[in-house]
Structure 1
């Protein structure tokens, strides 16, 4: 079975995008696609500068969450864990506050969030500006099988 190929039709939000293939092309909810750079990267020999070949660069993987006949909406699904600050026992120093020197630092827990389509991975509330996304309209999408 040949994987379904599509292109990003629009970046909708920080986690959602639409591709230009839908149920009429066999796309179903739950399918996963790899979003590729618009062109493969050329790999060149460092000595001769001869092109050795090309490799596909994957930007992000998405999962289909809704399907229409000619388009599908896909969402990022991978989670990223941002490490918190470890708890410290009380150690007095000229730079610590009295509370920290007596009771220690309670630390902060790890934060878990979903991968986004933004190149800087910061959150936004409004619709994602296409200029702030590293996924662009026209990027190729290929089904993960």
Structure 2
């Protein structure tokens, strides 16, 4: 299932253009992909095996509407050194100017309006 980022609420929540009409449910995972990865070709046959796309983020659906859903980062963080600390959702690397309400993390562009997400 393909979805698109249609709203960036803040650096914790993103809205995708799929919802219950598309059988999306709470807890479902989507990955936001940077589709500029290197194409991998078989050295003998020249057959393409696809591209090494970079995962910008893995999102978890937290609220579902008929045509859209709200997602948050599936990753969380804990306070250092405190085994009893509760987990908090990690921030998403979003384009803050669009906030409206290799595998090197340093070269991955921020999540932007129009980015595609795929059901994991």
> What TM-score comes out, normalization by structure 1 length?
0.58
Larger % of strand: which?
2
Q: Mark the structure with the bigger radius of gyration.
A: 1
CA spacing shift, 1:115–1:55, aligned 2, 3 Å: same
Structure 2 residue matching 1:129: 3-state secondary structure: helix
Structure 1 spans left out of the alignment, 5+ residues: 46-50, 85-108, 120-127
For the 8 Å contact 1:42–1:52, the answer to whether it is kept is no
> What TM-score comes out, normalization by structure 2 length?
0.68
Structure 2 residue matching 1:24: 3-state secondary structure: helix
Structure 2 residue matching 1:14: 3-state secondary structure: coil
For the 8 Å contact 2:72–2:89, the answer to whether it is kept is no
Whole-angstrom CA distance in 1 between matches of 2:58 and 2:50: 24
How many residue pairs match? The answer is 103
CA RMSD of aligned residues (A): 3.0
Matched, 1:116 2:84: no
Matched, 1:69 2:44: no
Deviation at 1:53? Answer: 4.9
Structure 2 spans left out of the alignment, 5+ residues: 42-47, 100-108
Deviation at 1:129? Answer: 3.2
